[in-house]
Structure 1
Amino acid sequence: MQLSGCEVKNAFFCFTCLLTNSTDSAWTETGIADLKNFHAKVKKHNSSEKHLNGFIEFSMLGKVDIMCQLDSAYRRNIKTYNENVSKNRYILGKLIDCIKFCGKFELALRGHDETEDSKNPGIFRGLVSLMAELDCVLKQHIERSENRVFLGLSKTIQNELLEPIYEVCLSLVRSELSKANFLAIEVDETTDCANLSQLVLIIRYELLGQINERFISFVRPKSHSADDVTAAVLCELEKMNVHETPEKLIAQCYDGAPVMSGHKSGVQTRVREVYRNAHFIHCYAHQLNLIVERCVTGNKQVRIFFSNLEGISTFFSRSSTRTAILDEVVKKRIPTCPQSIRWNFKSRSVITVYKYQKEIVECLERIIDDDASDYKTINKATGLKGFLQDEDFLFWLNFF
């Protein structure tokens, strides 16, 4: 047995096992620093199967490999290794199937508490647990930790699986873009669950007479200046190889923000310096929303109506007790509008209040009659009940 020392770890290592990449971590990674029992450990390691295999592999360097024909133990090791590889590929396929299921139905993989004793660890871990009950191989992999290479339930493993899946999807989009005749990009700003601003990039293209729309990525530029937003957009276009055929990009669509649509220094102007055919098209849905909003808010009664409508949803969402009463009587939540630009939430609120008007009034009456309600809650509930029975409010409710 040949020994090598490390002055950093202050320990001895097996030189042969290091060269042959043996799996005996005590002699290849950790090292032996216990000199009291050193002789016994050396003797035990010399007779171990891992060391002997490594010694045989080291002695055969530069010679003809006849181990597959002569050594049954060596052939057995190869067979065991291939079986473990096949098993790990099978487990990996099951984990990818769970991720594909979540993606198909747009479900979040993770939960708020992913500990082992959590009652609600998230959809991904729940799917894996369900599949383990139906698949004995997957169940054995999860339960017997000493025989596994990876468990596959941690957030690190999830991210490592999501990244190649995302790259495979992008490679497919790149191949379609290379065959497309015309391209267009759509960029808009939204917020994530942490209320941080980010850009959404979508590419539309024509292929074989069909219009395809593909989500590309969420981009978080360094700032909201035209320089940084333009740099972020151009970087994503280069990743999709659009810069190789710049004449294909014929349109770019943004909202009405000056930093995006400015004619002198906006993003659309700077993008056209690189892609000359990329004509700017204003977001028509945003335009329509602004026009309608300006028209209806010019009426004082309409402003009062939408203010009171928003007050109804806010009143119930600010208290778990009020929400419980709403769930019991109406059996449906009143949608709240997270941002004023998301106008579809207003229509959902109008439809819900219109459909369950009597039930909402019943909820307010129960809150007013409840002895546990404070004066402030009773005051708000009484006011909202009056609005729901007011002729002007009911007229606009029916109108919208």
Structure 2
Amino acid sequence: ASKLGLPLPRESREKDAFQAFVEKGFDRWKDAIERFKIHERSALHLAAVSGLLDAEKTPISATFSNILKRDMEDNRSALKRIFSSIRYLCLQGLAIRGKTEETSNLRQLLIERSLDYLPLQKWLERPEKYKWLSPEICNEIIMDFSLATQRDIVATLQSRVYFGLMLDESSDISAKEQSMTTLKSMKIFLGFYETATTKSADLFNIVMDTLKRFNISINNCRSQCYDGASAMAGDISGLKTRIMQTEHRALFVHCRSHSLNLVVQAEVSRNTDIANTMSLVQNFIAFARGSPKRLAWFHNFQDQNDNADANGTSFRPFCPTRFIMRKISIISITSNYSSLIEWLQDLETNEDFVKCKAEAAGFLASFQRFDTFFKLEMLRQIFTTLEDANTQLQGAQLNFQRAEAVIEALKKVFIDADPKNVLMSCGRRLKLQQNFMIWMSRNCPVKEDLRRDALDRQQLISP
């Protein structure tokens, strides 16, 4: 008790006992038993024992402090799980809210996670109103995630010094015009920014404001890449001109992927045969997908044919914005050609599809012609090559030399074709035509003159 600094009585009557048992030590061993019995009843001994017992007990204030500390740890861990749940929904692109707060994705995810974690369950069941789950709090948490991500991106950009600038604009679902800003050190997306107009001056202000907020100097910009719109690429007052007036080393390069898309779109529109074939594909896919009943009926024919090339592929609509990305739509037709013909023939006579009989007959007449089949095969090869080139032009590691090499390779494929390859293509066309006509004569109930024409071609063209 003395070593612990506990208060002990030192009155005159306890002085001898204090010296004997605390300061000097006990030395009257011949009377030890009697002295020990007297000492057990003394005020000094009772005070020491009482003080030691009290010292071993936890103070009530400390007990309350431990309870509060444990509650704080549980609440902190529950809050971390709320943060991680919001982050998970954002990363997966899922909605946080629902029709009601109780049926929202966030609430249901937290309820599921609380089954394995009691502190989170207590947090969700607490009677208090504040649980950090209101829409305002969730939006604030998402904004904190966004700012933290942007700070990491900016730190990476600042460590690499130089960067390239990419910007494009489009309207969202609420008809508000928004611009997208990307700094290309490793193709890092910075965010969407609302703009009232798409004038070059407003876009320039958005770019400069974005760089200023992220503490990035425009003097380190070495490249610009936009589409060919006048507000972007105009030589007098376009965005690229305004930026080059601020930093003359920021060289402008028209987006190669966008240029390729415009070239292909212009050439397809100029060629009547190809334009008609593309229109046929677009209208047919809209016809097939326009009725779930018709599409389900087509899948029955697809399953019966068991075509390995089709592999359950359904008709895919054209990409509405990227003209090059149409290979998958054409393949969805060429790989299902047998099923497609049989399906259209059935629609032409099936009483359950009387309303679409005329349309089905028109499409059937087109697809039973060899020139349609040949053009589709040709377009499939062309768009396969174009899509491969477009993928390379959008690569994260792309540089100017690599982009030029891809374009030169395309020119060799489509412009500088070897005459021998052209003759070989004609030979393939004859072989393809022969196989098509024989297949039509054997598998499709077409007119007799078409069947005779196929047999005549079989005799004239050697396999």
Indicate whether the TM-score tops 0.5: yes
SS at match of 1:247: helix
Residue 361 of structure 2, aligned match among 367, 371, 382:
382
SS at match of 2:353: coil
SS at match of 1:302: helix
Aligned pairs for 1:68-107 within 5 A: 78-104=65-91, 106-107=92-93
1:343 and 2:317 matched? no
Give aligned pairs, total: 313
- Conserved 8 A contact 2:281-2:330: yes
Which residue number in structure 2 is paired with residue 67 of structure 1? none
Which residue number in structure 2 is paired with residue 168 of structure 1? 148
- Conserved 8 A contact 2:334-2:376: yes
1:236 CA drift (Å): 1.4
Opposite residue 159 of structure 1, the aligned amino acid is N
Listed as ranges, the gaps of 5+ residues in structure 2 are 1-57, 303-311, 381-463
CA distance in 2, matches of 1:132, 1:268: 53
TM-score (norm 2): 0.60
1:181 and 2:164 matched? no
Q: Comparing 378-387 with 323-332, which one deviates more in the overlay?
A: 323-332
- Conserved 8 A contact 1:99-1:109: no
Residues 393/182 of structure 1: CA separation in 2 closer, same or farther (3 Å cut): same
Opposite residue 108 of structure 1, the aligned amino acid is L
Aligned alpha-carbon RMSD (Å): 3.0
SS at match of 1:373: helix
Opposite residue 218 of structure 1, the aligned amino acid is F
CA distance in 2, matches of 1:129, 1:324: 38
SS at match of 1:228: helix
CA distance in 2, matches of 1:161, 1:227: 33
Residue 229 of structure 1, aligned match among 203, 214, 218:
203
Aligned pairs for 1:244-323 within 5 A: 246-323=218-295
Q: Show CA shifts across 1:195-214 (max 9, x none).
A: 65422211112xxxxxx221
CA distance in 1, matches of 2:327, 2:337: 15
Q: Comparing 297-306 with 366-375, which one deviates more in the overlay?
A: 366-375
Residues 282/157 of structure 1: CA separation in 2 closer, same or farther (3 Å cut): same
CA distance in 2, matches of 1:151, 1:324: 47
1:263 CA drift (Å): 0.6
Residue 217 of structure 1, aligned match among 186, 191, 197:
191
SS at match of 2:360: helix
Bigger strand share? 1
- Conserved 8 A contact 1:326-1:332: no
Which residue number in structure 2 is paired with residue 108 of structure 1? 94
CA distance in 2, matches of 1:369, 1:95: 59
- Conserved 8 A contact 1:336-1:345: no
Q: Show CA shifts across 1:65-94 (max 9, x none).
A: xxxxxx967656654544443233222322
Opposite residue 303 of structure 1, the aligned amino acid is A
1:183 CA drift (Å): 0.7
Residues 199/327 of structure 1: CA separation in 2 closer, same or farther (3 Å cut): farther
- Conserved 8 A contact 2:265-2:323: no
CA distance in 1, matches of 2:173, 2:346: 34
Structure having the higher Rg: 2
CA distance in 1, matches of 2:135, 2:342: 46
Opposite residue 72 of structure 2, the aligned amino acid is V
Residues 115/252 of structure 1: CA separation in 2 closer, same or farther (3 Å cut): same
Residues 110/287 of structure 1: CA separation in 2 closer, same or farther (3 Å cut): same
Opposite residue 283 of structure 1, the aligned amino acid is C
Which residue number in structure 2 is paired with residue 239 of structure 1? 213
1:148 CA drift (Å): 6.9
Bigger helix share? 2
- Conserved 8 A contact 1:141-1:151: no
SS at match of 1:281: strand
CA distance in 2, matches of 1:358, 1:117: 51
Which residue number in structure 2 is paired with residue 393 of structure 1? 372
1:306 CA drift (Å): 0.7
SS at match of 2:187: strand
CA distance in 2, matches of 1:268, 1:281: 9
1:159 CA drift (Å): 2.0
Which residue number in structure 2 is paired with residue 128 of structure 1? 110
SS at match of 2:179: strand
CA distance in 2, matches of 1:157, 1:365: 59
CA distance in 2, matches of 1:355, 1:126: 43
Q: Show CA shifts across 1:338-396 (max 9, x none).
A: 52x31354122112222223334454455545545353x33223322333333122112
Opposite residue 139 of structure 1, the aligned amino acid is Q
Q: Show CA shifts across 1:284-305 (max 9, x none).
A: 1011111222223322110011
CA distance in 2, matches of 1:87, 1:326: 57
Q: Comparing 161-170 with 272-281, which one deviates more in the overlay?
A: 272-281
Which residue number in structure 2 is paired with residue 45 of structure 1? none
Which residue number in structure 2 is paired with residue 202 of structure 1? 182
Q: Show CA shifts across 1:190-244 (max 9, x none).
A: 4434465422211112xxxxxx22110012211121222222222212222123x
